[in-house]
Amino acid sequence: MLKIDSFSKTYKGDKKAVNNLSLQVNAGEIFGFIGPNGAGKTTTIKALAGVLDFEQGEIYIDGFSIKEKPLECKKTMAYIPDNPDLYEYLTGVAYLNFIGDIFRIDRDEREKLIIHFADRFELTKDLGNLISSYSHGMKQKLAIISALIHSPKLLVLDEPFVGLDPKASFVFKTIMREICDTGGAVFFSTHVLDVAEKLCDRVAIIRNGELIACGNTAEVRGDHSLEEIFLELTENA
Amino acid sequence: MRDFALLYKLELKHLLHSVNPASRRSSGEKNRKRGLAAIMIFSAFLILFYSVSYCVIMAKAFIKIDALWLLPAFMFSLCSMLMLFTTVYKVKGTVFGFDDYDFLMALPVKTSVLVLSRLAVLYSFNFTALLFILIPAAAVYAYYAVPGFYFYISFLVALPFVPMIPIGIAGTLGTLIHLAASRFKHKRAVNMVLTLLLFSGLIVLSFNTNVFIENVTEISQAVTGVVNRFYPPAALFTNGVCKNNFSALFLFIAVSAGVFWFFSFAAAKKFKALNTFLLAEKTDSEFKAKEIKTTSVRLALYKRELQRYFSSVPYVLNTGMGLVLFTLSSAALLIMGKDRVVGYLGAANAVEMFYNFGPIAVSFFVVLSCTTASSISLEGKNLWIIKSLPLDPRDVFLSKIALNLSLSVPAVIINSALTALLFRFPPKQAFLLFALPLSYAFLTALGGLVLNLMYPNFDWSSEVTVIKQSASVTLAVFIGMGAVAVPLALLFIPLPISPFSINCGVLAVVSTANLLLYRYIITKGPKIFAEF
């Protein structure tokens, strides 16, 4: 579903944010991308979401290159950044309509999916209000609903649980698993290692732009907790 | 004082950054900045040139009626009204309702210091702008009137106080408009209507001044009356600076400082309450499934642009005033009628002049209405949305161009049709009355977009900074005005070519420029956009 091949990104001033990163996420997997602040997680996520331009390496989404076929890639995935700034001048439903129009979702399907997900995240009654009146958590919920209504095969998420209340977090984790059960995949970054340990089928740990561990969650942590392994690897690497 | 200096510098850096932001593109960054600096310096000289030329023309006119001292009075009034116009919609975003309000209010700094630092930034910008108007006015006045030493001293003493009354009045009016609009569900629409009514009222008032002049015999007294009635502090300024009246000078300084102090005091006193009130949003709209609608991708993008446009009062006012002025001018012409307009022009070939200059003259209003020059920057923190969606950037560009054209094209067609019919334009000139402004409308939309692709800024905390002060907007206005000024100058110079041929030549040049700009947007635009 997702293949990152020798991806590197250098910013101005020759600062190498990510260096020669390669990994693969298979259909049916929830993949956790872990690393300390400034490790290169967001840079990688933005590049594979088609938001950030890059020169070295390749990223394939469902077999398509994000460089060569960006529209094909973006049609099959959904991306939510760590701080979803949405169009504050639109109402919640107007924003979902806009996303629905871009993905060409027909009227009946759109209504069914919007109401289904809005009910699950308890946002239905607020959809008529302007996004500028929403709290951070409500914006996060709306961003998640907008990502789900076009039934993406791959979900790409940067710190998706920040701002969500416990119930919404639980609902979202359930939905992530549902997507994987139907042949999709989820790639997300997190600092919450407990969540990664319980939720992810596979994890990768990145430090200073380089991959230092990758594999099944159980294999990576061995007899220790993921937190212990993370601290050990990120301090010793 | 230290806190004030820190906050002032922080906001000033923020605003200057919006004029010339660090580009995210690595290639040719130095050349880009050098080019921008060169154009900005050229623009500054151009404004000074315009200002001095205008003052010389005015001075010669005032000398004829033996009232040269009216020059500083007139320029002072003009400058104050311009500051008032441009400050009304800057109040929200600089003094109230700015994006980093939470961060700044959480700092251990007195509210009054915070308010003063914001007002000081507003003052600094207005003061810089007035230097370009009042210094040339004073210099031209001094050249022709040869005043004594008192003039220079009193002028320099009075100068720093000039922006204070406009800021105080505009601040009060802007706040009252925002407060009144906040009571309505569609507060942005109400805000826009109230501000437009205020501006239109001021414009109509200035139109009325002409009627006043026409009905009196003593022109010098009439102009004095008009200027003073239009902006009463002008009398104090002129008497204080030009007529050696120290009491008037003292009164002007006292009134200016008083108005500014009163507004600062009131703003500081009610700062938290006003911000809480203005930042609050109504949250009682009930969601209905019928609100779920479908449309095509291009229409969805266009609708998004429309909603973005009408959600921002500064955006509408800054880019719509040209078209409002266009319509008001056309209405004024219609009301006055052909014979009266020709009578005003005075020249023997007045009708010919009207036919020849008309197409270029109305284009001036069109180039002032450029929405595209800030449209990419306005994506701001929302840029990730269109970048992560399966969208062809060309469709995004077209939606931005379409918005600009849907404002300017109907205005051109309606106003040109009325003018052509009323003044019975001959077919050839009537064609140009439509074709030239329309070609300028395309030039404005396409050129603005190219400039914003070259000079984007996504890191802003107040949209006013990109709408009014960004490099792309400044360049769009100056290049647009230059694109109209050059052919206008050609029409004035006696050349062995007919004015009709000159207008046709301009049409050909502008149309070619449009094709080149469109090609640039379609071929190079997506690559530039990918690098943001």
Measured distance CA(A172)–CA(A174) in Å, rounded? 5
- Structural tokens at position A96: 């979902």
Phi, psi of B187 (to 5 degrees): -65, -35
Task: Give contacts of B281 with chain A, Cβ < 8 Å.
Answer: 129-130, 132-133
8 A C-beta contact, residue B457 and residue B466 = yes
Mutation choice for A interface testing from B188, B278, B294, B299 by most A CBs within 10 A: B294
What would the mean pLDDT of A24-29 be, rounded to a whole number?
94
- Structural tokens at position A116: 């289904």
Is A81 in contact with B384 (Cβ distance < 8 A)? yes
Phi, psi of B28 (to 5 degrees): 65, 25
Question: In DSSP terms, which residues pair with A185 in a beta bridge?
Answer: A154
Half-sphere exposure of residue A228, counting CA atoms within 13 Å on the CB side?
Answer: 5
The beta-carbon neighbor of B387 closest among A50, A98, A107 is A50
Tally Cβ neighbours within 10 Å of residue A15: 9
Question: Does pLDDT of B240 surpass 80?
Answer: yes
Measured distance CA(B98)–CA(B350) in Å, rounded? 51
A135 touches chain B (CB under 8 A): no
Is A90 in contact with B388 (Cβ distance < 8 A)? no
Highest mean pLDDT out of A81-95, B100-114, B222-236 = A81-95
The beta-carbon neighbor of B26 closest among A12, A97, A133 is A12
A68 touches chain B (CB under 8 A): no
Q: Which of B226, B256, B251, B225 is nearest to B240 (CA)?
A: B251
Interacting residues of B208 by C-beta distance below 8 A, sequence separation 6+: none
Measured distance CA(B385)–CA(B142) in Å, rounded? 57
> Can you tell me whether residue A5 is helix, strand or coil?
strand
In Å, what is the CA distance from B390 to each residue of A42, A77, A92, A98, B385? Answer: 20, 9, 20, 12, 10
Question: Does pLDDT of B530 surpass 70?
Answer: yes
- Flag the least confident range among A229-233, B7-11, B312-316, B454-458: A229-233
Is A105 in contact with B294 (Cβ distance < 8 A)? yes
Task: Give contacts of B388 with chain A, Cβ < 8 Å.
Answer: 49-51, 74, 79
- Flag the least confident range among A113-122, B321-330, B357-366: B321-330
For residues B346 and B192, which has the higher predicted lDDT (pLDDT)?
A: B192
Q: What is the DSSP code (8-state) at residue B27? A: T
Q: Which of B115, B68, B357 is nearest to B224 (CA)?
A: B68
Tally Cβ neighbours within 10 Å of residue B213: 12
Task: Give contacts of A90 with chain B, Cβ < 8 Å.
Answer: 304, 307
Measured distance CA(B130)–CA(B76) in Å, rounded? 9
Tens digits of per-residue pLDDT, B502-524?
999 999 999 999 999 999 999 99
A34: left (phi over 0), alpha (psi -120 to 50) or beta: beta
| Closest CA–CA distance from residue A80 to any residue of chain B (Å) | 9
Tens digits of per-residue pLDDT, B385-401?
999 999 999 999 999 99
CA of A48: which chain B residue's CA is closest? B388
> Can you tell me whether residue B193 is helix, strand or coil?
helix
Output the pLDDT for position B213: 44
Tens digits of per-residue pLDDT, B246-271?
899 999 999 999 999 999 999 888 88
Restricting to A residues 144-183, those with a Cβ less than 8 Å away from any Cβ of B are none
Is A102 in contact with B390 (Cβ distance < 8 A)? yes
| Closest CA–CA distance from residue B488 to any residue of chain A (Å) | 41
pLDDT band with cut points at 50, 70 and 90 for residue B27:
low
8 A C-beta contact, residue B407 and residue B479 = no
Measured distance CA(B65)–CA(B220) in Å, rounded? 6
Interacting residues of B171 by C-beta distance below 8 A, sequence separation 6+: B87, B91, B95, B119, B122, B263, B267
| Closest CA–CA distance from residue A112 to any residue of chain B (Å) | 10
Q: How far apart are the first and last CA of chain B?
A: 39
8 A C-beta contact, residue B377 and residue B457 = yes
8 A C-beta contact, residue B223 and residue B215 = no
DSSP characters for B50-68?
Answer: HHHHHHHHHHHHHHHTT-T
Question: Does pLDDT of B302 surpass 80?
Answer: yes
ipTM: 0.89
Residue at token pair 């006696």: B494
Tens digits of per-residue pLDDT, B429-472?
999 999 999 999 999 999 999 999 999 988 887 788 889 878 89
Is A85 in contact with B389 (Cβ distance < 8 A)? no
Question: Does pLDDT of B23 surpass 60?
Answer: no
Tally Cβ neighbours within 10 Å of residue B331: 14
Share of chain B above pLDDT 70, in %: 91
Interacting residues of B483 by C-beta distance below 8 A, sequence separation 6+: B367, B440, B443, B510
Question: In DSSP terms, which residues pair with A9 in a beta bridge?
Answer: A18
Task: Give contacts of B296 with chain A, Cβ < 8 Å.
Answer: 101
In Å, what is the CA distance from B180 to each residue of B187, B198, B277, B278? Answer: 8, 13, 11, 10
**Measured on CA atoms in the order A215, A218, A221, A226, is the torsion positive or negative?**
positive
- Flag the least confident range among B18-27, B51-60, B223-232: B18-27
Is B283 in contact with A126 (Cβ distance < 8 A)? yes
Chain B interface residues (partner A, CB cutoff 8 A): 26, 281-289, 291-297, 299-300, 303-304, 307-308, 311-312, 380-382, 384-385, 387-392, 530-531
Measured distance CA(B512)–CA(B482) in Å, rounded? 17
CB pairs under 8 A between A and B: 110
8 A C-beta contact, residue A110 and residue A100 = yes
Measured distance CA(A200)–CA(A21) in Å, rounded? 20
Measured distance CA(B344)–CA(B144) in Å, rounded? 28
Is A111 in contact with B291 (Cβ distance < 8 A)? no
Tens digits of per-residue pLDDT, B351-371?
777 788 889 988 989 999 999
Task: Give contacts of A53 with chain B, Cβ < 8 Å.
Answer: 530-531
Output the pLDDT for position B214: 47
**Measured on CA atoms in the order B111, B112, B113, B115, is the torsion positive or negative?**
positive
Is A89 in contact with B311 (Cβ distance < 8 A)? yes
Output the pLDDT for position B217: 47
Question: Does pLDDT of A123 surpass 90?
Answer: yes
Output the pLDDT for position B436: 95
Q: Which of B242, B67, B76 is nearest to B159 (CA)?
A: B76
Question: In DSSP terms, which residues pair with A155 in a beta bridge?
Answer: A78, A186
Q: Which of B121, B104, B110, B465 is nearest to B275 (CA)?
A: B104
Measured distance CA(B331)–CA(B203) in Å, rounded? 13
8 A C-beta contact, residue B419 and residue B333 = yes
8 A C-beta contact, residue B164 and residue B170 = no
Tally Cβ neighbours within 10 Å of residue B123: 18
C-alpha angle B64/B66/B68, rounded to 5°? 95
Helix (H) and strand (E) counts for chain A? 9, 10
- Structural tokens at position A67: 């460089």
Burial class of residue A172 (count of CB atoms within 10 Å of its CB; 0-12, 13-18, 19+): buried
Question: Does pLDDT of B20 surpass 70?
Answer: no
pLDDT band with cut points at 50, 70 and 90 for residue B346:
low
In Å, what is the CA distance from B416 to each residue of B102, B204, B362, B409, B434? Answer: 49, 21, 8, 10, 6
Measured distance CA(B447)–CA(B370) in Å, rounded? 9
